[in-house]
Chains A and B, each alone.
Chain A
Amino acid sequence: MSTLLTWLFGRLPIGWLQLSHNRMRLVAAVAGVAFANLLVFLQLGILGALNGATVAPYALLNADIMISATDTHTLTDGSNIARARMFQALGVPGVASAMPLFLGTLEFKLPDGSVSKLQTFGFDVERPGFAAPEVAALLPGLETENSAIIDTKSRGIPKTAFAGLLAGKPFAFEVNGHTLSTIGSLAIGGGFTADGTLIVSDQTFLRLFPNRSSGAPNHILLKLNDGAALPVVLNRLRAVLPVESVMVRSLKDAAYADYAYQTTQRPTGIIFGFGVLIGVIVGIVIVYQVLSTDVADHLREYATFKAMGYPQRFFLGIVFEEAIILAIFGFIPGFLVSLGLYAGLRAASGLPVLMDPPRAIMVFVGTLVACAISGVIATRRLAAADPADLF
């Protein structure tokens, strides 16, 4: 290590020698950085899963524009919208087709008495173009009354229930007093508000939710003619529809607004975002503590080096060297433990808690920057190394 660093810096790696001389301090500092990394990874993992779970349902849809009630923040929290708006929209030049989308939550009762909450989508089987391809391929099967596509990654539903289904045997289950039989499955997975997804036809949906009416869907999806410009059509729709009660957005914008709402307005998003901040602060404080104690402990030596003619930047170099060593040594165990933690969280919650490379790189760069910042603050103590006080 020492030889490598000597070759790298073209000088003695004083920072490394100093850190490795005091093993206890090195271990404590590395553990501190690793812990801060773990905190940040944990929060980001959950936040990422939250975001993934937020936008995942939008991926089941295939449309250019979504019309929703003005009080809509997420896919499910808005008021219903009058189907009449769909007919108005269809009269706008550039709009090719439309489909009302029905959404509701069903409780799947498990043998042990607990319930699994399923986010239920009601699609018009006649218009498969409004569903994502993998859903569209299964839609014809939903024409049969009381048939459903089930989410094999739903939390709580025993995997054995799906075994027969995958082997080609339909699987029947009871919800809201109706017996549904599955004609296919998708692997989607639960989010923060539901344990899984269920896809049915709009007809079946209305039977499952007797208090919902065909005249009041949750959203209206639109597709544009080839060559129609999205912004132009959006503006035309806004001119035609009553903007005080309905909101016209591209599907992409709607998904992004939902995501932004979840991360900045909802307590979960804020709490986890705050957790990231705490992790960063913990890391900076620990590294600062270690580096400034280290500087303070070596003031006489540094003053001696100053007397020998070493310039100020030499000492900054030592402190930065230490900061970068701590960042690298702390990141590696922090990253590895986080991988294990993610696997545990995935197994326990069914949430898509995944380590994506951009996040790992971002946290690593963040660690380097945070350690460097701590180093900069710690070097203020260097001013106290006055060679005239050595005698």
Chain B
Amino acid sequence: MVGNTPIIMRGLNHFFGEGEARKQAIWDVNLALEGGKLTVLMGPSGSGKTTLLTLMGCLRNVQEGSIELMGHELHGASEAVLVRLRRRLGFIFQAHNLHESLTATQNVLMGLEVQGAGDRSKQLAAVHHILGLLGLADRVDYLPQNLSGGQKQRVAVARALVGNPEIIFADEPTAALDKDSGHNVVQMLKALGQSRGVTTVMVTHDNRILELADRVITLEEGRVVGDSKPG
């Protein structure tokens, strides 16, 4: 890690499609994101927010330019290196993507088991603790089908946080929720992130969330067009 700057992008370009259909989605992005902060990515639909997030999150291969993630160059990194790095990250998706046949506890446990087998009772204690922090103490053994949308998204937040990730990537985590529970989820995410010193990068359209952000980056047609610190 360079200082406390877990994500550094230099001369980043990204293309989709081949031949005639080849289209550039990211244009020469240069950004350094500081640790422990909540950074929000904004911009109109199709501006490249998700593409940028998946590149930073090791879910897409870097084609041109460089991303240094927690001190590791992602350009040309092997699949094994990417898989190992992903275990140090947390993802929260627009859809909760919980496993339908696992209970809330089991879903969150998946976020711990990826680190390898451990003391089961300690793991369960950690899972129940974080579900409790997110107000789900009485829902730990529920299947997703028996939880409300907001509760499901909070289980997904718990799953992303339980492994103590160094960076959290969230792509419109509140899009499927009503305003209040959406705001609630983000507030919990921010509070937990701050107390644990987690770096958070979030894509959102929700203006109320901007108030919570440490930094707001605006994209348009794949280019960074705005970079501000509210408040």
Contact = CB atoms under 8 A, between A and B. Distances in A.
Contacts of A309: 83-87, 89, 114
A20 B100 CA distance: 11
A388 B87 contact: no
A10 interface: yes
B95 interface: yes
Interface in B81-108: 83-87, 89, 91, 93-95, 97-102, 106
B147 interface: no
A266 interface: no
B87 A300 contact: no
Interface string A293-306: 00000101101110
B53 interface: yes
Nearest to B103: A17
A21 B143 CA distance: 10
B100 A12 contact: no
B155 interface: no
Interface string A1-44: 00000100011101001101110000000000000000000000
Interface in B41-92: 50, 53-54, 57, 59-60, 83-87, 89, 91
Contacts of A209: none
Contacts of A390: 59, 91, 93, 95, 97
B133 to A, nearest CB: 20
Nearest to A390: B93
Contact of B110 (A10, A12, A311, A387): A12
Given A304-B97, A309-B114, A17 B102 contact: yes
B87 A12 contact: no
Given A11-B117, A12-B109, A308 B91 contact: yes
Nearest to B203: A391
Interface in A145-180: none
A192 interface: no
Nearest to B143: A21
A12 B107 CA distance: 10
B171 interface: yes
Contacts, number: 72
Interface string A359-391: 000000000000000000000000000011011
A387 B100 CA distance: 18
Contact of A388 (B59, B83, B110, B113): B59
Nearest to B111: A308
Given A17-B101, A390-B97, A391-B53, A10 B86 contact: no
Nearest to A311: B83
Given A300-B95, A301-B97, A308 B109 contact: no
Contact of B94 (A20, A305, A308, A391): A391
A14 B99 contact: yes
Contacts of A10: 117
Contacts of B53: 391
A243 interface: no
B83 to A, nearest CB: 5
B101 A18 contact: yes
Nearest to B99: A301
A309 B80 CA distance: 10
B86 A308 contact: yes
A388 B54 contact: yes
Contacts of A110: none
A261 interface: no
Contacts of B110: 12, 305, 308
Contacts of A308: 86-87, 91, 110-111, 114, 159
B1 to A, nearest CB: 19
A324 B171 CA distance: 38
A362 B128 CA distance: 46
A87 interface: no
A174 B84 CA distance: 87
A310 B114 CA distance: 6
Given A304-B97, A388-B60, A14 B102 contact: yes
A271 interface: no
A137 interface: no
B196 to A, nearest CB: 18
Contacts of A307: 57, 59, 86, 91
Given A309-B87, A390-B93, A17 B106 contact: yes
A236 B101 CA distance: 75
A301 B53 CA distance: 19
A226 B89 CA distance: 82
Given A21-B101, A309-B86, A310-B83, 17 more contacts: A12-B110, A12-B113, A14-B101, A17-B102, A18-B101, A300-B95, A300-B97, A301-B98, A303-B97, A304-B93, A305-B114, A307-B91, A308-B91, A308-B110, A390-B91, A390-B97, A391-B50
11 contacts: A11-B117, A17-B102, A18-B101, A304-B91, A304-B93, A307-B57, A309-B84, A387-B54, A388-B60, A390-B91, A391-B54
Those 10 A-B pairs whose CB atoms lie nearest each other, nearest first: A21-B101, A309-B87, A309-B86, A304-B97, A391-B50, A301-B99, A388-B59, A10-B117, A17-B101, A391-B171
Interface of B: 50, 53-54, 57, 59-60, 83-87, 89, 91, 93-95, 97-102, 106, 109-111, 113-114, 117, 120, 159, 171
